Structure 1
Amino acid sequence: MAEPTKGVVSGGDTGGGASRGSTFPRLLRHLASTTPTAVAMQEKRYGIWQPITWAEYAERVAETAHGLASLGVKRGDIVAVLGDNRPEWLIAELGTQSIGASVVGIYPTSIGEELRHILTTAASRVVICEDQEQVDKLLRLREEERGRELEAGEEPLLVEHVVYYDPHGLEAYDDEWLMEFTDLEERGREWGAQRAGWLDKQVEAGRPDDIAVICTTSGTTSRPKLGELSHTNLLAMADHLTEVDPIGPKDRYVSFLPFAWIGEQMLAVACGLSRGLTLSFPEDSATQRADLREIGPDVMFSPPRIWESMLSEVQVRIDEAGRLKRSVFGWGYDVGDKVAAMRVTGKKPGPGLRLAHLVADQVATRPVRDQLGLARIKRCYTGGAPLGPDVFRFFHAIGVNLKQIYGQTEICGIAVVHRDDDIAFNTVGTPIAGTELRINEDGEILLRSASVFRGYHRNPEATAEAVDRQGWLHTGDAGFLDEHDHLVVIDRQKDVLTAADGTRYSSAFIENKLKFSPYVEEAVVFAPEVGGDGMTALITLDPATVGSWAEHERLSYTTYTDLAGKPEVYELVAEETKRANEDLPETIRVRRFVLLHKQFDPDDDEITRTRKVRRNVIADRYGDIIAALQRGEDDVHVRSRITYQDGSSVERELTLRIFDLTTYSIPEGRGRRPVWSGRR
């Protein structure tokens, strides 16, 4: 591993940028006045795309702003927004910001204590939510609050109004706490009609350094903190990113990841408003892929799990195809891989390879891009967690200009990115303009730019730990700069370990090697106890790909638990793990693994809402299994509740097999599985 670099690597700076010094509401008003009839957003409803122009967008934002003011929302307040991506989410956000307040986004899957923690920390009195499911959560939270006394130091729930924007199923609800979004807009029209010019003054009074959005941190080790991001923070990031990769008004973007995530605020909102980007909202999660294909976005940003699921989909489809189609795609992929390997380093293929690539693209790789909805992609990004180099390489081989980015909520999601002709599959690129990067003596990545957040809401101690007096953000991540000044991220600094032979390694790196298999959904790796031999792993299956494989092998099963316990499935995963071990140093290879009887669930606090594993929760909850793995036992007994497809459930005692790879050999003559296939 390279020695920690003490110097500063900078992305340079090109000045103030096109949108610096403004605010989101003022940018919206500018777009509404200069391009009033251009489409700002479109939402698919009942199979038809419903457009909203910039002028209509601005009008609805004004009505919502007046409506929120009529409910008592004042400058400096925080409005919570809870739900899936719909135009109303952004209308609520811009309406809130127009009167000097800010929004805190809450993931639609949040429940119970997590939901209460965010609402009480933000002291939100108004919640904008999506539908009956979210309304029921909030009503339940209120009833629980009323039915008990607060503990010492516990803050009360202050919510006074809940506004919902999907009334389906709520027709019979008559709680005075509740209000439909259209009623809020109507109330705003009446309130605003009596106060001409009031909103104009509020928008002009807004300062670029005001809080625009509060985003929660991932919370992998504790309850999430609330990071305050100003208009300046977000718009500086938008300017700097678009200097690397220009975005224009004619570009299309499909918004399907939660607005509570900094990644969506970064691209859809900050870049969208500063560059006039058109946003499209899928009808629902079931039609997301079809809607993506129909729009054909120019720009896309998704965490690794989305790219991994796309690859899994390709693998399943190709494995179901006939021999001729598999052969043609295999040839086309190999040609695309050769061309991609040259292009990402700035080289150009020769005439023969260019001709072969044109043919391969038409008959093999373009149809796959089209099926994935990526036929028109100019560039796309992945971030939030490491993406395996093999997955990265696959997308470049089929002609998708995928780039890794690195950043955190605390720096508006991005600080480092790949350039078009300078991509290395094991790095995250170089700093964007206006960003300084330094590796300190402990190997920690430090960042400094205009996008470093204001601080954690009501948590000055944590803020002081995160940002020092010189303005450097201490990321908590370990990394180094390679010979080309590309940043290589190892892992969270506290999770970087040292093997018995002195090798420094990251559990996340080993886990990503395992997760490259289409059959593995999650993997959590544990170091051996003192005197132990080799790594052990808890593995959960990808039910779609393993289920498809089981169907092809004529292997019957009832539940996920039943599938995970099949000897044939253990053999399947054993081969995948053995292959992953081949690329790892001997001292950090996985020696034993167990297929867990259930998938990790964010509702059980096992993974975050952005699907990052909470290692401390896993280590505590499955301590008996981990101990049995490390002791080298043959199996371990657990109790678990099994739920069947008809909704019935029963608690059972299960015996989980522990697979010892030290005695396993891949069957002779079996070649390595190609990247694009799930078949051996």
Structure 2
Amino acid sequence: MPVEAQAPTAATGHAESTAPAAQHPDWQADDTLLNHLARNAREVPDRVAMRERDHGIWQEYTWSDYLERVLALAAGLEQYGLKAGEQMLVIGDNRPALYFAMLSAGALRAVPSPAYPDATPQEIGDQVQRESIRVALGEDQEQVDKLLEIQKSYPQLELIVYDDPRGLKGKEPDGVVGVETLVEAGRTRLQTEPGLREDLLGRARVHDVAVLLHSSGTTGAPKGVPLKHGHVLFAVRNAAAAGYFREGEVHMAFLPMAWVGDFTFSVGAAILLRFSVNIPETQETAQKDIREIAPTMYFSGPRAWSNLLTRIQVGIDESTPFKRWLYNRFMPFAVELERRRLEGHQPGVGKRLWRALGELLVYGPIRDQLGLRRVGRPYTAGEAMGEEVFLFFRALGLELRQFYGQTETAALTAAQDPDAVKLHTVGKPFPGVEIKISDAGEILVKGDNVFDGYFQRPDATAETLQDDWLYTGDAGYIEDDGQLVVQGRVKEVVYTAGGARFIPTFIENRIKFSHFIRDICILGEARDVLTAIVCIDIDAVGHWAEERGVPYTSYADLSQKDPVYDLIAGVLQRTNETLPEGLQIRRFVNLHKPFDPDDGEVTRTRKLRRNVIDEHYRPIIEALYGGDASIEYKATFTYETGETGEQTRRLQLRDITSVGGATGRRAAQ
């Protein structure tokens, strides 16, 4: 029998569900994602809303199909015990069933709480317990196994639902059920219970939480960030008013579902503006699948754009001599042309003709190969993008733009106008959003897209929301033309022993302009000089080494090669030339492995956890500042069984002089 729905309350465990009307006076009660989904099913029932590639074949869902799946799954979830006000865990790669489930939970006034698919059982278990989760949906057997492991110590996790039946169907343990079973149960209810369909469509209200996302947790446990229907829809409307979104975009959904950008783009904007959302078969086939879909809008983080550039460069190096000649003839020209264009210079007739020829021979074919030939609105956000990467893709003919936002603002705060792009800014506030800078230099934001408070964290809410302003924690300033410049996190402002002020992330982002460096941690707080721990990019550096006949057997082996140290020293030296002398990097080490989220060194969105890095690599850090030429470092690693082991690595420590790159191994002064 169906469980009676109840209105969410603060006692159910999430942020207060019904905000005072005065807090958001322009919100309308029925302005919900569910009602806009129903509108689409009513007005354009046969238009394709979502595609998923499965075994090489694109499976399509129309808006009518979308709505019917959401309502059937909602009715099934309710029959199996999901209640209003509860959180429901959703974990896995992008899949239609997982998107449907998040909306189905919303129809019941429950709250979907997505987790990153590569999260460990410990991380997922912490989230399950913090949010008192009884119902969880996992994509496949891998995720179900994690949830069953959690269930051993947390029996309150009563129901585990799976999407992919491989390895599970017919072998389900107690409390594990397939999503199709819930859908069939829901369809039966919809057929036999008059009025249930309208009831499910009408329960949700604009002040209900549409999704419970999470902060990155760089300094502690992640904080829950409840975004209401009104927050998400207001953010999307702001962006659409600025021309950032258009109705009917063709969109690829391949970014993590637990990231705010995916929910805002693939759910909020997709439903409000009737996007066609396309889901690759796997993360590994995403680039191939993109070519087949040819999206009109493409959104990815700076790291993904940088990886795409590496892929292009590797492909060119492996192509024919004639293609390499064409690329080397036209690409530098286009990059310099774009740089000057952004500085306000207009090209003459000759350069425009040469650009047109390059479009025919080089730029257009590369965009086509990447699957980006139809992209009219390419975007990046999440962290600073390297100038070289940004210029390259704009030179390629993609009008790449940056935007700025946080989970707390539904991802959309400010963006670059297509006619006023600057390399160092993130643009102006969207319509309906206010930005100002505090006396301490912190960026403050106000608008109906700003969340109303953290999940069960009144202390953090009081610190972050003051007098209707969101204290973002980011340092920045506003230029005379109104464009916002983001410098880094306020809490990351530190001082050297000599009193020089610096923000490590600001320097790190400039260094990561190089595709040879995957991650870097700048050290120097209360020290005489700055040093760095570098994690090379194995694909880019590996290809570079192969082209130059540098043999290697593994990441660790490659990282310690003298030519690779020379390569990285050159990258750091070029950055030093742009920094004040007191803030130049004097020593560095190439780490034997990348920073790993499973080791707690970075978050799932690859933000550094500096306290963990300081603890893990303390001997290396002391050796950097002690003037040692190398260090024997005992590396601890964990097997898949959970057992740990140790292996000793000898790591080089290199100096960088103020002029001329790497020297031998002289101690830092």
Question: Secondary structure at the residue paired with 2:217?
Answer: coil
Is 1:575 matched with 2:570?
yes
Percent identity over the alignment is 37
Distance 2:662 2:519 in 1: 25
Is 1:508 matched with 2:505?
yes
- Which whole-Å deviations, capped at 9, do the CAs of 1:552-584 have from their partners, x for residues lacking one? 222222221111122222122122222222222
Question: Secondary structure at the residue paired with 1:297?
Answer: coil
Which AA in structure 1 matches 2:195? G
Question: Residues 202, 172 of structure 1: CA spacing in aligned structure 2 closer, same or farther, 3 A cutoff?
Answer: closer
Alignment match of 1:308 (pick from 306, 311, 314)? 306
Deviation at 1:481, TM superposition (A): 1.2
Question: Secondary structure at the residue paired with 2:397?
Answer: coil
- Which whole-Å deviations, capped at 9, do the CAs of 1:112-145 have from their partners, x for residues lacking one? 32211211222221111100110111111122x1
- Cα RMSD for the two superposed structures: 2.4
Q: Which residue of 2 aligns with 1:674?
A: none
Q: Which residue of 1 aligns with 2:148?
A: 139
Question: Residues 176, 667 of structure 1: CA spacing in aligned structure 2 closer, same or farther, 3 A cutoff?
Answer: closer
Alignment match of 1:543 (pick from 532, 538, 545)? 538
Question: Secondary structure at the residue paired with 1:104?
Answer: strand
Deviation at 1:594, TM superposition (A): 0.4
Question: Secondary structure at the residue paired with 1:260?
Answer: coil
Question: Secondary structure at the residue paired with 2:285?
Answer: helix
Alignment match of 2:634 (pick from 639, 654, 661)? 639
Which AA in structure 2 matches 1:446? L
Is 1:661 matched with 2:659?
no
Is 1:559 matched with 2:554?
yes
Question: Residues 655, 334 of structure 1: CA spacing in aligned structure 2 closer, same or farther, 3 A cutoff?
Answer: closer
Q: Which residue of 2 aligns with 1:7?
A: none
* 1:46-445 correspondence to structure 2 within 5 Å: 46-143=55-152, 145=153, 158-171=156-169, 173-245=171-243, 247-341=245-339, 344=342, 348-445=346-443
- Which whole-Å deviations, capped at 9, do the CAs of 1:460-513 have from their partners, x for residues lacking one? 111111111x21000111111123221111111011234567654321122122
Distance 2:364 2:468 in 1: 46
Indicate if the aligned counterparts of 1:81 and 1:89 stay in contact, CA closer than 8 A: yes
Which 4+ residue blocks in structure 1 deviate beyond 6 angstroms? none
Deviation at 1:89, TM superposition (A): 1.1
Indicate if the aligned counterparts of 1:103 and 1:213 stay in contact, CA closer than 8 A: yes
* 1:439-458 correspondence to structure 2 within 5 Å: 439-458=437-456
Is 1:493 matched with 2:493?
no
Question: Residues 427, 265 of structure 1: CA spacing in aligned structure 2 closer, same or farther, 3 A cutoff?
Answer: same
Question: Residues 366, 157 of structure 1: CA spacing in aligned structure 2 closer, same or farther, 3 A cutoff?
Answer: farther
Question: Residues 23, 576 of structure 1: CA spacing in aligned structure 2 closer, same or farther, 3 A cutoff?
Answer: same
Bigger CA drift: 344-353 or 114-123?
344-353
Distance 1:44 1:111 in 2: 27
Which runs of 5 or more structure 2 residues have no equivalent in the other structure?
1-24, 664-669
Q: Which residue of 2 aligns with 1:482?
A: 479
Question: Residues 643, 230 of structure 1: CA spacing in aligned structure 2 closer, same or farther, 3 A cutoff?
Answer: closer
Indicate if the aligned counterparts of 1:528 and 1:630 stay in contact, CA closer than 8 A: no
Indicate if the aligned counterparts of 1:344 and 1:420 stay in contact, CA closer than 8 A: no
Q: Which residue of 1 aligns with 2:584?
A: 589
Distance 1:348 1:157 in 2: 67
Deviation at 1:381, TM superposition (A): 1.5
Question: Residues 347, 194 of structure 1: CA spacing in aligned structure 2 closer, same or farther, 3 A cutoff?
Answer: farther
Bigger CA drift: 495-504 or 200-209?
495-504
Distance 2:311 2:375 in 1: 18
Deviation at 1:401, TM superposition (A): 1.3
Question: Secondary structure at the residue paired with 2:112?
Answer: strand
Distance 2:510 2:106 in 1: 43
- Which whole-Å deviations, capped at 9, do the CAs of 1:156-210 have from their partners, x for residues lacking one? 5621111100011224633111101111101112233332212412322321111
Question: Residues 635, 174 of structure 1: CA spacing in aligned structure 2 closer, same or farther, 3 A cutoff?
Answer: same
Bigger CA drift: 335-344 or 181-190?
335-344
Distance 1:418 1:360 in 2: 26
Which AA in structure 1 matches 2:485? V
Distance 1:473 1:485 in 2: 19
Deviation at 1:323, TM superposition (A): 4.4
Deviation at 1:293, TM superposition (A): 1.6
Alignment match of 1:520 (pick from 511, 517, 529)? 517
Indicate if the aligned counterparts of 2:236 and 2:268 stay in contact, CA closer than 8 A: yes
Deviation at 1:300, TM superposition (A): 1.6
Distance 1:300 1:23 in 2: 25
Distance 1:642 1:502 in 2: 38
Deviation at 1:330, TM superposition (A): 2.8
Question: Residues 280, 437 of structure 1: CA spacing in aligned structure 2 closer, same or farther, 3 A cutoff?
Answer: same
Bigger CA drift: 509-518 or 447-456?
509-518
